[in-house]
Structure 1
Amino acid sequence: MTWENHSVLLEFVFLAYPSCLELRILSFLGVSVVYGLIITGNILIVVSIHTEACLCTPMYYFLGSLSGIEICYTAVVVPHILANTLQSEKTITLLGCATQMVFFVALGIADCFLLAAMAYDRYVAICHPLQYPLLMTLTLCVRLVVASVISGLFLSLQLVAFIFSLPFCRARGIEHFFCDVPPVMHLVCAHSHVHEQSVLVAATLAIAVPFFLITTSYTFIVAAVLKIHSAAGRHRAFSTCSSHLTVVLLQYGCCAFMYLRPSSSYHPKQDQFISLVYTLGTPLLNPLIYALRNNEMKVAIRRVFTRNCLSQNS
């Protein structure tokens, strides 16, 4: 069946939304509050990093880029989720579904690769402190961020093009809130070992490869920190990595559970809950983790608030 025939015949319907009006209103209000906090927290981090001279370092440049990607990542699906929550018709066209999946997956992959770049930054800072200013230049930081986004877009386009080249069954219902890979793959009629392996290979490249790079970086970091004789020095070195490690475990735990598994283990209700964690929970926790565990970030955010209050009063 050609793409043209797909486009004419298929329009997906999302089935995960509550049918009760009261639950739909409560869901709308809850998601709206969380989304508002996500946007506010990540914008505060971006503004603080770009306005405070003390945060003009590679570590904070990566953090600002991560927050920018998180803003775009949630913007791909959350406004659509909010609109569907209140609408009676919760449909999406085939092209709309493919477009949403491309950008959602691409930004998710970019997140993973950017976390790997942040791990490399910590490795250079701790293992090669004297060479750090020479190795971690602004040019390299920009290239790593751009490479993360381009890699995410390239892998996402390949994966989504493959999925939407497969024949879909007549059933139009997606047991999900948006177009994600597992629930859409569940509608494919031509299930085979080759198709499943193809999706698994793409997910492995997107998730396992950057996780391997992060693990390698932290292996060298731990080895270097254990050679530090003073307990205060070891604590200071580990504290610079604790926020990043917390975000890595949260991000990769959810992604690995969703994508690095056979399609036979697909469970709609369970996957819907996990998807809300990495779509709303992780982008919300990231700024909280970095802001609450980093004194420089807390001071910078406080200054941004103070400047805004003073400018409004004047």
Structure 2
Amino acid sequence: MSADALREQIRAQVRTALGAKATGADSSVASVSALMQRFEAGYAAANAEAIVACFAPDVVWTLPDSRVLQGRAACLAFLKERFASPTGPKFSDSHMNVLGQTVVQNYKVSVPLPGGQSATLDGTDVYQIRDGLIARKDAYWKQIGAPKPATATAAAAAAPQGVVVPLRVGTAAHAAALTDLFKRLAASPALLQAAQSGLLRFDMRVDEAAVKAVAAGAATPTPATAATPPTAPAGTSAMAATTAIDPAACCSSCKAGKACDCKGDTCELHDHPADVPELKGVIGEKLLKTLPPSVKTVRLHPKAVLTPLGKEALRKRGITIERGIKS
């Protein structure tokens, strides 16, 4: 065989091989395109089952907010919830680019914003195909150009300047102080107007564990929890903060513009002596934990029983014990 004939034979074999490879590639592209068409049709019909049928059993779907759905069941539940919501995202202008076993999809997505408005974002999804099914779906939504909701800083700047009252609710005593605060708001038109206009605002933090403990104790009262709690803990910041707004919310003397004449009343708007709580029943460590930090002296009822743990708790806090009945 001549050299020219050998070269021609090699060229023919190469052309045959390249033709077969091209045919296989075309077939693969057609298969992936058909899969994505079924996927798009499922979205158009809001058919969660049809969409999930295009997924591999172990599919991994990463959402634009970084949540990750794993498996068909999780994807099905998510899609049903999305389609059932009237405020779910709306998709349009979809364009698919099939690159072998990878598909890149570009589209527009309209999402709702607070106040009844909406924003249209650019979206890009990247799909990985395995064995004729979608094995991975990564979604990205571009926030550039989307209207931004008013920030907390801007809202605070627009609001009138006033007094911010820190409220901490974690014990029964705190809850009592909170109740007393709202009673004073209801009784004082000036305080109520200040709260409604934003001149008086509240920053409330709740100790969840402590609240649950208090609720559990209230549900199953014992002799220890039956002890009389202090009516208003001294040093409550919420009470003190109202002084600068409406001192006349105190007693009749204050309302008349005279010197405070509250006597034994612990309204907390003025510097009254702290009340000495009287404890009754069986006094244990649990009950003593409800006493506010400002309590330095307690009075034990003649029939009260102080447990060893209760006595140790009083000692550690440096609380003085008195015995007798309130005069």
Q: Aligning the two structures, in what range does the TM-score lie when normalised by the shorter sequence?
A: under 0.3
Higher-RCO chain (CA-CA 8 Å, sequence separation at least 6): 1
Q: Which has the higher strand share?
A: 2
Q: Name the TM-score, length of structure 2 as normaliser.
A: 0.22
TM-score calculated relative to the size of structure 1 = 0.23
